Chain A
Amino acid sequence: MATQSASRRWSLPQIALEPRTQQSWSVNAGLTLGLLLLALALGGIVILLAGGNPFVVYRNMLVAAFGTKWGISDTLVKSTPLILATLGVSLAFRMRLWNIGAEGQLLLGALCTTGVALHVVTPETPGVLAILLMALAGFAGGAAWGFVPGWFKAQFGVNEIISSLMLNYVAQSLLNFFVFGPWSERGFGQTPMFPRNSWMPRLTDFADTFPIVRGMTVHGGLLLALLAFAILFVVVRSSKFGFEITLAGDNPEAARYAGIHLRRLTIYIMTLSGGLAGLAGMSEVAGVSHRLINSVSPGYGFTAIIVAWLARLDPLGALWVAFLFGGLLVGADEISSAGIAQLMQGIILFVMVSGGLLLRYRIRFHGTGAKATGIEA
């Protein structure tokens, strides 16, 4: 055997994979933690290369995001659109529909919400009705933007990855047209402020009664997100509709065989997925900026893709991961580098995706030499 190893031409390392027969909770948790640390270390190297001190950077980010009640409140504010968009993205991913157009769907949602806030809501409209109308508009805007790639996929077999992504750019241009054009405030990239009755209430609004919440900007969007979570949690786990999604995601052929109308389901899911992202857009303009700005989203729609994947498309997981990533965004704001947030997201996703193998298999490397004789693959 030694001669064989020596005479073998250059080849890739032989890896033996044994499927893990039992998913042990502690092994999973340990590996996940290890991979996260690896991602942080890799990110640290890049920060070092870019001339920063990774320890200082990480500490500042951590303190900003989770160090104070205001920090946590800010983190929750950032998590809110993330949760909504992630729920939407996960729904599509469960069916292996790669909707990566959540960003555009969010923008369209924000755009439609703004249309309602500026042109439908009057100062006399009851607040609840105003919010409800805006939420409907936001959902509809995102849904329309999700429907298009869904319909194209179902009807013509158009790759939804590319079409949904292309629509992101179209959405941004459309939004630019409105905020620089018809709805612009003095030609800047923003609209006028919405009437007060269309603002979603914030915690700090109740500071007179409860002084402890002063300065905390968590807003009603979080309730909206939690409501959406609760509905999806139940739908995914125990409804017939949820079963159809899971089945179609695992084996579309078997789903057709089970009598599921795949095309229709594809369109439904993409539309719903877009609608949820649209709600994220609504929550941002109605709860945070109270006007539409051309840079309304720092890439929530893209971050949602990562969050969805890390949460393994599970609604409950989405809540936790969205919270952590909300913190990452707050931290990145603190050190005023959007690039860092993007970079860390990229590294974390890449490390986790690559490391997924470790969760599924035990790995044995087959080196050269005497021990190579028997066990190999």
Chain B
Amino acid sequence: MINLLAAILSAGMRSGTSLLFATVGEIHAERAGVLNLGVEGMMLMGAMTGYGVTHLTGSPWLGLIGGMLAGGSLALLHGFASLVLRADQVVSGLALTFLGSGLSAVLGAPLVEIRQVPRLPTWTIPVLSDIPFLGPVLFDHSAVVFLGYLLIPLTWYFIYRTRPGLELRAIGENPAAADAQGIRVMRLRILHVTYGGLLAGIGGATLSLAVTPTWIDNLTAGQGWIAVGLVIFAGWDPVRAALGSYLFGALRRLPLDLQNFSYFKSNPALGHFTNMLPYLATILMLLFASSALLRRKFGAPAALGTPYVREGKGG
């Protein structure tokens, strides 16, 4: 039983890592005041490109970088459309998701035939991985999981303890104030949106290179949207985002793991309902987080979703 739990949690960490990257990426974008609903599309492009580059070069690391760049390019598009061209951020983000799914489906069509590419290496940390229970759950994983571990404290430190982090918080809260202090709001916003896309790309590549190492159409199955929900749940904080990501990673794995139980084996129809779990849980999580938000005044960055234009018709 303990072993099974360890296996579920371990798989959850791995699957949660892709959510973690996407969620932290979206935190960057939203902290900067830009809502990017294209996470799903960026993850899909990241997953497809990661798989494709790995297939072409034989190096999953190059694949990871390729996926990252693919996600980043899409995010840059969103930044350009919503910030420079001032398109509606909601619609532009939706368009990005459509674009990402379509582009990954067309360009990735030949990749569906390829059943296997080299995976990212698995690192087993000596000593630590021998700790009972925790060892296999935390310290025996694909390399990208460890990158995720690194990302959490780094992001926290960046946001709360560095000057660029302070600037990030300021441009999402009051861009006019930041602008008056000489911070280049537009440039920073584009940078953070793009950085968010790079992370979402890594998140996608994590899926195709470590979690479910394969490429099929619509591989992400809504994970990008779950990430958008997790950002709210996390209150735009990277540490809470990590907790949420790993939790949802485990939840996503649950239907697969439950199939091993004889009860579920004899009732395969139940699988349709366990499949719903992550999605229903996302709604419940939002229900919980939103009613909490309603009670607090400060939650979302105050300028989230609103374009900043310096010059109006002033008097």
Contacts and interface: CB of A to CB of B under 8 A. Distances in A.
Contacts of B97: 346
A229 interface: no
Interface in A317-347: 337-347
A17 B101 CA distance: 33
B205 interface: no
Interface in A298-318: 302, 305-306, 309
B77 interface: yes
Contact of B109 (A50, A98, A306, A356): A50
Interface stretch (B13-21, B57-65, B128-136, B225-233): B225-233
B6 interface: no
Given A158-B283, A159-B290, A165 B106 contact: no
Contacts of B243: none
B272 A180 contact: yes
A341 B96 CA distance: 15
A46 B103 contact: yes
Interface in B249-292: 269, 272-273, 275-276, 279-280, 282-283, 286-287, 290-291
Contact of A350 (B81, B217, B229): B81
Given A157-B294, A354-B85, A166 B279 contact: yes
Interface string A41-54: 00000110110000
B106 A159 contact: no
A377 interface: yes
A166 B290 contact: no
A171 B69 CA distance: 34
Given A158-B290, A169-B221, A377-B311, A353 B232 contact: no
A166 B280 contact: yes
Given A180-B269, A306-B98, A339-B109, A166 B85 contact: no
Interface in A89-110: 98, 100
Contact of A353 (B92, B228, B229): B92
Task: Indicate the size class of the contact surface on chain B.
Answer: 35 or more
B5 interface: no
A353 B91 contact: yes
B99 interface: yes
Nearest to B272: A177
A162 interface: yes
A181 B269 CA distance: 7
Contacts of A341: 102
Interface in A148-177: 152, 156-159, 161-163, 165-170, 173-174, 176-177
23 contacts: A11-B184, A46-B106, A50-B106, A156-B294, A157-B293, A158-B287, A159-B229, A159-B232, A162-B232, A162-B286, A163-B282, A163-B286, A166-B280, A166-B282, A166-B283, A167-B279, A174-B272, A174-B276, A337-B109, A342-B106, A349-B99, A353-B81, A354-B81
Give the top 10 A-B pairs by smallest Cβ distance, nearest first: A343-B102, A339-B105, A346-B99, A346-B98, A342-B102, A177-B272, A350-B95, A349-B95, A339-B106, A166-B279
Interface of A: 11-12, 15, 46-47, 49-50, 98, 100, 152, 156-159, 161-163, 165-170, 173-174, 176-177, 180-181, 302, 305-306, 309, 337-347, 349-350, 353-357, 377
